[in-house]
Amino acid sequence: MDCIVRSVKENVNNTVVKTADGRVFNADFVVVTLPLAVLQGNHEKSKITFDPPLSKSKRDAISRLGMGAENKIVLKFKPEDRF
pLDDT in tens, 25-45: 999 999 988 888 888 888 888
The pLDDT of residue 1 is 67
Q: Are 15 and 29 in contact (CB under 8 A)?
A: yes
* 8 Å CB contact between 3 and 23: yes
pTM value is: 0.70
Q: How does pLDDT run across 68-77, given as a tens digit for each residue? A: 777 888 888 8
Closest CA to 38 of 24, 20, 56, 22: 20
Distance CA(16)–CA(52), nearest Å, equals 12
pLDDT the model gives residue 22 = 93
> CA-CA distance, 82 to 26, in Å (whole number)?
51
pLDDT of residue 6: 92
Q: What is the pLDDT of residues 11-27, one digit of tens each?
A: 999 999 999 999 999 99
